[in-house]
């Protein structure tokens, strides 16, 4: 088995959604925002993720997947694990937002696709009778805290490549797939001399994993809703080649 890193294609969206849902099933932010498991609707969640991927593709964001292929790959094989995954399976996904330099002007394409995304979400709200278990109050708490953190940390006038989604299937973790997914855009960022940014709600082991990729922990976000607190770790990676 080998694993290829490819740009996301529309046909891969269902596989990418499935991979992401599994990768994030024990994610602290996910559990905080979908706080009542009895209300979680996996199909509504899949519809929302799928709509976001379509939005990302239409806007030209760098979105890459790791896909099982028969071709020779350069991933690190793990002789201790026998892995049987069908060719074509999506085993990793990585989505970046592009850096924006002030004054930030939304392009026509992003504006139009944002409206289309909102419309699709509205239709899903009707079809699935709600947000599928998302605690909307908590979602907005997170959005506000995230904005505060980014306003404080994003001081570089060149902007930041923002990795807002990374997930690797549990069967292939620790084999270099996450790093290969990240490397595509981190190398581009290095060539352009632009920093990278991410937020992770899983401190262990993710902070150590991202430190190995060159990120540094810069700030912690605390999303507080009554007794329930969700922490997110904000990390920045300085460009390697240019300053
Ligand atoms: C975080 C995640 C994407 C990492 O992907 P991965 O494919 O397992 O990571 P890699 O194998 O590419 O490892 C990258 C580096 O971290 C190291 N690493 C991997 N797992 C580690 C662990 N548990 N503890 C410490 N270091 C670890 C690797 O050795 C490698 O370092 P090296 O390049 O010096 O050898 C993956 O664990 C995952 O999907 N987790 C669940 C979802 C999630 O938390 N996503 C991130 C949200 S921000």
Sorted by where each starts, the structural domains of the chain and their CATH numbers stand as: 2-140+153-197 (3.40.630.30)
196 vs 16: CA distance, rounded Å: 23
76 vs 64: CA distance, rounded Å: 19
Report percent pLDDT > 90 for the chain: 88
Mean pLDDT of 208-222: 98
> pLDDT tens-digit profile of 162-178?
999 999 999 999 999 99
Residue 14: predicted pLDDT: 98
Output the ligand 1 site: residues, CB below 6 A.
Answer: 23-24, 27, 166-168, 173-179, 198, 200, 202, 205-206, 208-209, 212
Residue 162: predicted pLDDT: 98
Give the closest residue (by CA) to ligand 1 atom 9: 178
Mutate to test the pocket of ligand 1, among 179, 185, 207 (most ligand atoms within 8 A of CB): 179
Q: Compute, in angstroms, the gap from residue 93 CA to the centroid of ligand 1.
A: 13
- Among 211, 212, 215, which Cα is nearest to 238's? 215
Which range has the worst mean pLDDT, 82-86, 98-102, 122-126?
Answer: 82-86
The answer to whether residue 75 scores a pLDDT higher than 60 is no
Confidence tier at 199 by pLDDT (50, 70, 90): very high
Mean pLDDT of 23-50: 97
Give the closest residue (by CA) to ligand 1 atom 8: 173
């Amino acid at each position: 088995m080998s694993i290829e890193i490819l740009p996301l294609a529309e046909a891969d969206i269902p596989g990418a959604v499935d991979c992401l849902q599994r990768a994030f099933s024990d994610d602290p932010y996910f559990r905080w925002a979908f706080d009542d498991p009895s209300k979680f609707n996996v199909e509504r969640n899949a519809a929302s993720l799928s709509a976001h991927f379509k939005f990302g593709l239409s806007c030209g964001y760098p979105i890459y997947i790791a896909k099982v292929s028969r071709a020779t790959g350069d991933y690190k094989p793990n002789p201790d694990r026998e892995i049987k995954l069908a060719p074509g399976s999506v085993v990793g996904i990585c989505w970046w937002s592009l850096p924006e330099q002030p004054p930030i002007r939304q392009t026509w394409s992003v504006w139009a696709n944002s409206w289309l995304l909102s419309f699709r979400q509205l239709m899903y709200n009707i079809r699935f009778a709600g947000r599928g278990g998302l605690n909307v109050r908590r979602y907005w708490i997170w959005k506000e805290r995230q904005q505060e953190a980014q306003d404080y940390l994003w001081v570089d006038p060149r902007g930041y490549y923002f990795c807002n989604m990374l997930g690797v299937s549990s069967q292939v973790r620790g084999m270099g797939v996450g790093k290969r997914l990240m490397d595509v855009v981190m190398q581009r960022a290095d060539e352009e001399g632009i920093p990278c940014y991410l937020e992770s709600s899983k401190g262990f082991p993710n902070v150590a994993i991202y430190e190995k990729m060159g990120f540094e922990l810069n700030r912690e976000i605390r999303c507080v809703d009554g007794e329930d607190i969700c922490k997110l770790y904000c990390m920045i990676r300085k460009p390697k080649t240019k300053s």
